[in-house]
Amino acid sequence: MARLSEIPPPEISVIIPTLNEESTIEEALQALSSHPDAGRFEVIVADGGSRDATAERARHFARVLSAPRGRAVQMNAGARAARGNILLFVHADTRLPPDAISLIRESLADPSRSGGAFRHGLDRGGFLYRLISFMSNLRVRWLGVIYGDQAPFVRREVFETLGGFREMEILEDADLISRMRKTGRVKLLKSPIVTSARRWERLGPWRTIFVMWAIALGYRCGISPAKLKRIYPDVR
Protein backbone atom coordinates (compact mmCIF):
# COMPACT_ATOMS: atom_id res chain seq x y z
CA MET A 1 0.00 0.00 0.00
CA ALA A 2 1.34 3.43 -0.93
CA ARG A 3 2.22 5.81 1.83
CA LEU A 4 0.08 8.94 2.16
CA SER A 5 3.11 11.08 1.25
CA GLU A 6 3.46 9.11 -2.02
CA ILE A 7 -0.14 9.70 -3.12
CA PRO A 8 -0.62 12.81 -5.28
CA PRO A 9 -2.38 15.49 -3.22
CA PRO A 10 -6.06 16.10 -3.98
CA GLU A 11 -7.14 19.32 -5.60
CA ILE A 12 -9.64 20.18 -2.85
CA SER A 13 -9.97 19.17 0.79
CA VAL A 14 -13.53 18.97 2.12
CA ILE A 15 -13.52 19.54 5.88
CA ILE A 16 -16.57 18.67 7.96
CA PRO A 17 -16.75 19.63 11.66
CA THR A 18 -18.99 17.28 13.64
CA LEU A 19 -20.49 16.95 17.09
CA ASN A 20 -23.15 14.30 17.77
CA GLU A 21 -24.18 14.05 14.11
CA GLU A 22 -24.81 10.31 13.84
CA SER A 23 -28.20 10.99 12.24
CA THR A 24 -26.69 12.96 9.34
CA ILE A 25 -23.00 12.13 8.86
CA GLU A 26 -23.35 8.80 7.07
CA GLU A 27 -25.74 10.18 4.48
CA ALA A 28 -23.52 13.24 4.02
CA LEU A 29 -20.41 11.15 3.43
CA GLN A 30 -22.19 8.72 1.13
CA ALA A 31 -23.31 11.70 -0.96
CA LEU A 32 -19.70 12.91 -1.18
CA SER A 33 -18.35 9.48 -2.08
CA SER A 34 -20.83 9.26 -4.96
CA HIS A 35 -20.31 12.86 -6.09
CA PRO A 36 -19.45 13.17 -9.82
CA ASP A 37 -16.06 14.74 -8.94
CA ALA A 38 -15.23 12.51 -5.97
CA GLY A 39 -11.78 11.77 -7.38
CA ARG A 40 -10.79 15.41 -7.14
CA PHE A 41 -11.19 15.89 -3.40
CA GLU A 42 -10.43 14.30 -0.06
CA VAL A 43 -12.82 14.33 2.89
CA ILE A 44 -11.74 15.03 6.47
CA VAL A 45 -14.11 14.83 9.41
CA ALA A 46 -12.95 16.84 12.44
CA ASP A 47 -14.93 15.52 15.38
CA GLY A 48 -15.27 17.54 18.57
CA GLY A 49 -15.83 14.68 21.00
CA SER A 50 -19.15 13.22 19.89
CA ARG A 51 -20.86 11.06 22.48
CA ASP A 52 -22.74 9.09 19.83
CA ALA A 53 -21.61 6.98 16.84
CA THR A 54 -20.62 9.92 14.62
CA ALA A 55 -16.89 9.15 14.46
CA GLU A 56 -17.41 5.42 14.07
CA ARG A 57 -19.78 5.86 11.14
CA ALA A 58 -17.60 8.50 9.50
CA ARG A 59 -14.50 6.26 9.48
CA HIS A 60 -16.07 4.09 6.79
CA PHE A 61 -15.94 7.00 4.34
CA ALA A 62 -13.40 9.61 5.45
CA ARG A 63 -10.35 10.45 7.52
CA VAL A 64 -11.53 11.22 11.04
CA LEU A 65 -9.63 13.51 13.38
CA SER A 66 -10.30 14.23 17.04
CA ALA A 67 -10.16 17.86 18.10
CA PRO A 68 -11.25 19.95 21.08
CA ARG A 69 -14.88 20.96 20.88
CA GLY A 70 -15.58 24.17 19.00
CA ARG A 71 -16.37 24.54 15.31
CA ALA A 72 -13.50 26.95 14.62
CA VAL A 73 -10.99 24.77 16.51
CA GLN A 74 -12.20 21.65 14.70
CA MET A 75 -12.06 23.24 11.24
CA ASN A 76 -8.56 24.55 11.93
CA ALA A 77 -7.51 21.03 12.91
CA GLY A 78 -8.99 19.68 9.70
CA ALA A 79 -7.21 22.34 7.65
CA ARG A 80 -3.85 21.47 9.22
CA ALA A 81 -4.32 17.83 8.20
CA ALA A 82 -5.59 18.69 4.71
CA ARG A 83 -3.49 18.11 1.62
CA GLY A 84 -5.47 20.09 -0.96
CA ASN A 85 -4.67 23.55 -2.29
CA ILE A 86 -8.29 24.59 -1.79
CA LEU A 87 -10.13 24.18 1.51
CA LEU A 88 -13.90 23.67 1.41
CA PHE A 89 -15.78 23.73 4.73
CA VAL A 90 -19.09 21.85 4.74
CA HIS A 91 -21.60 21.24 7.53
CA ALA A 92 -22.68 17.67 8.26
CA ASP A 93 -26.25 18.43 7.17
CA THR A 94 -25.27 20.13 3.90
CA ARG A 95 -25.10 18.58 0.42
CA LEU A 96 -23.00 19.97 -2.43
CA PRO A 97 -24.48 20.50 -5.89
CA PRO A 98 -23.23 18.19 -8.70
CA ASP A 99 -21.18 20.98 -10.29
CA ALA A 100 -19.63 22.18 -7.00
CA ILE A 101 -16.02 21.24 -7.73
CA SER A 102 -16.08 22.56 -11.29
CA LEU A 103 -17.56 25.86 -10.11
CA ILE A 104 -14.92 26.24 -7.40
CA ARG A 105 -12.13 25.51 -9.88
CA GLU A 106 -13.53 27.96 -12.42
CA SER A 107 -13.96 30.62 -9.76
CA LEU A 108 -10.40 30.33 -8.48
CA ALA A 109 -8.94 30.30 -11.98
CA ASP A 110 -9.19 34.07 -11.48
CA PRO A 111 -6.12 34.94 -9.36
CA SER A 112 -7.87 38.03 -7.95
CA ARG A 113 -10.26 35.82 -5.97
CA SER A 114 -9.40 34.52 -2.51
CA GLY A 115 -12.36 32.16 -2.23
CA GLY A 116 -16.13 32.13 -2.08
CA ALA A 117 -19.28 30.29 -1.05
CA PHE A 118 -22.51 28.88 -2.48
CA ARG A 119 -26.00 30.30 -2.58
CA HIS A 120 -28.31 29.16 0.18
CA GLY A 121 -30.77 26.33 -0.33
CA LEU A 122 -32.90 24.06 1.88
CA ASP A 123 -34.06 20.46 1.58
CA ARG A 124 -37.73 21.41 1.96
CA GLY A 125 -40.05 22.71 -0.73
CA GLY A 126 -42.81 25.28 -0.44
CA PHE A 127 -43.04 29.05 -0.49
CA LEU A 128 -41.86 29.60 3.08
CA TYR A 129 -38.61 27.65 2.65
CA ARG A 130 -37.92 29.34 -0.68
CA LEU A 131 -38.43 32.65 1.12
CA ILE A 132 -35.90 31.65 3.79
CA SER A 133 -33.26 30.96 1.14
CA PHE A 134 -34.15 34.18 -0.67
CA MET A 135 -33.71 36.16 2.56
CA SER A 136 -30.42 34.40 3.28
CA ASN A 137 -29.04 35.28 -0.14
CA LEU A 138 -30.35 38.83 0.26
CA ARG A 139 -28.44 39.05 3.55
CA VAL A 140 -25.24 38.23 1.68
CA ARG A 141 -25.94 40.91 -0.91
CA TRP A 142 -26.93 43.64 1.57
CA LEU A 143 -24.72 42.88 4.55
CA GLY A 144 -21.98 40.75 3.04
CA VAL A 145 -22.36 38.23 5.87
CA ILE A 146 -21.90 34.60 4.80
CA TYR A 147 -22.54 31.76 7.23
CA GLY A 148 -21.06 28.29 7.28
CA ASP A 149 -24.17 26.63 5.87
CA GLN A 150 -23.19 28.13 2.52
CA ALA A 151 -20.05 25.96 2.31
CA PRO A 152 -17.29 28.61 2.20
CA PHE A 153 -14.08 27.78 0.35
CA VAL A 154 -10.68 29.45 0.37
CA ARG A 155 -7.26 29.12 -1.20
CA ARG A 156 -5.00 27.29 1.21
CA GLU A 157 -2.29 29.98 1.09
CA VAL A 158 -4.87 32.67 1.90
CA PHE A 159 -6.23 30.63 4.82
CA GLU A 160 -2.74 30.12 6.24
CA THR A 161 -1.76 33.77 5.75
CA LEU A 162 -4.88 34.84 7.67
CA GLY A 163 -4.11 32.39 10.48
CA GLY A 164 -7.19 30.27 9.83
CA PHE A 165 -10.43 30.65 11.74
CA ARG A 166 -10.41 32.78 14.84
CA GLU A 167 -11.56 30.69 17.77
CA MET A 168 -14.83 32.53 18.32
CA GLU A 169 -18.01 31.13 19.88
CA ILE A 170 -19.98 31.84 16.69
CA LEU A 171 -19.48 33.76 13.43
CA GLU A 172 -16.04 32.29 12.80
CA ASP A 173 -17.18 31.72 9.22
CA ALA A 174 -18.43 35.28 8.68
CA ASP A 175 -15.24 36.61 10.26
CA LEU A 176 -13.04 34.55 7.92
CA ILE A 177 -14.98 35.72 4.86
CA SER A 178 -14.61 39.32 6.02
CA ARG A 179 -10.84 38.94 6.32
CA MET A 180 -10.64 37.09 3.00
CA ARG A 181 -12.13 40.13 1.29
CA LYS A 182 -9.05 42.10 2.32
CA THR A 183 -6.84 39.72 0.34
CA GLY A 184 -9.00 39.27 -2.75
CA ARG A 185 -12.53 39.06 -4.09
CA VAL A 186 -15.05 36.57 -2.71
CA LYS A 187 -17.32 34.87 -5.22
CA LEU A 188 -20.88 33.77 -4.47
CA LEU A 189 -21.40 30.83 -6.80
CA LYS A 190 -24.59 30.47 -8.84
CA SER A 191 -25.50 26.96 -7.71
CA PRO A 192 -27.18 26.53 -4.31
CA ILE A 193 -26.05 24.02 -1.72
CA VAL A 194 -28.81 22.05 0.01
CA THR A 195 -28.90 22.29 3.80
CA SER A 196 -31.24 20.54 6.21
CA ALA A 197 -34.19 22.64 7.33
CA ARG A 198 -34.04 21.11 10.82
CA ARG A 199 -33.08 24.39 12.48
CA TRP A 200 -36.04 26.20 10.95
CA GLU A 201 -38.40 23.34 11.72
CA ARG A 202 -37.28 23.08 15.35
CA LEU A 203 -37.40 26.79 16.18
CA GLY A 204 -39.97 27.96 13.66
CA PRO A 205 -39.16 29.61 10.31
CA TRP A 206 -40.03 33.19 11.22
CA ARG A 207 -38.19 33.12 14.53
CA THR A 208 -35.10 31.65 12.87
CA ILE A 209 -35.12 34.25 10.09
CA PHE A 210 -35.32 36.97 12.74
CA VAL A 211 -32.47 35.46 14.78
CA MET A 212 -30.16 35.03 11.78
CA TRP A 213 -30.72 38.59 10.58
CA ALA A 214 -30.34 39.94 14.14
CA ILE A 215 -27.00 38.18 14.47
CA ALA A 216 -25.82 39.47 11.09
CA LEU A 217 -26.87 43.05 11.89
CA GLY A 218 -25.35 42.82 15.36
CA TYR A 219 -22.09 41.56 13.90
CA ARG A 220 -21.98 44.42 11.37
CA CYS A 221 -22.65 46.87 14.22
CA GLY A 222 -19.72 45.55 16.25
CA ILE A 223 -21.52 43.48 18.89
CA SER A 224 -19.19 40.74 20.13
CA PRO A 225 -19.82 37.12 19.08
CA ALA A 226 -19.87 36.15 22.77
CA LYS A 227 -22.96 38.34 23.28
CA LEU A 228 -24.58 37.27 20.02
CA LYS A 229 -24.13 33.62 21.04
CA ARG A 230 -26.87 34.13 23.64
CA ILE A 231 -29.51 34.28 20.91
CA TYR A 232 -27.94 31.67 18.63
CA PRO A 233 -29.93 28.40 18.57
CA ASP A 234 -27.86 25.22 18.85
CA VAL A 235 -29.92 22.59 17.04
CA ARG A 236 -28.93 18.94 16.51
Average pLDDT of the chain, as a whole number: 91
Pairwise pLDDT comparison (198 vs 53), residue with the higher score: 53
- Top-ranked range on mean pLDDT: pick from 27-41, 51-65, 116-130: 51-65
Predicted local confidence at residue 2, as pLDDT: 46
> pLDDT for 55-80, tens place per residue?
999 999 999 999 999 999 999 999 99
Its CATH architecture, for the domain 4-127+145-198, is: Alpha-Beta Complex (3.90)
> pLDDT for 179-220, tens place per residue?
999 999 999 998 999 999 887 788 788 888 888 888 888 988
> pLDDT for 15-27, tens place per residue?
999 999 999 999 9
Q: Which letter, b or e, does each residue of 177-192 get, where b requires 16 or more Cβ atoms within 10 Å of its Cβ?
A: bbbbeebbebbbbeeb
> Where are the domains positioned within the chain?
4-127+145-198
For residue 17, report the phi and psi dihedrals to the nearest 5 degrees. -80, 135
66 three-class SS: strand
A 10 A CB-CB count for 103 gives 19
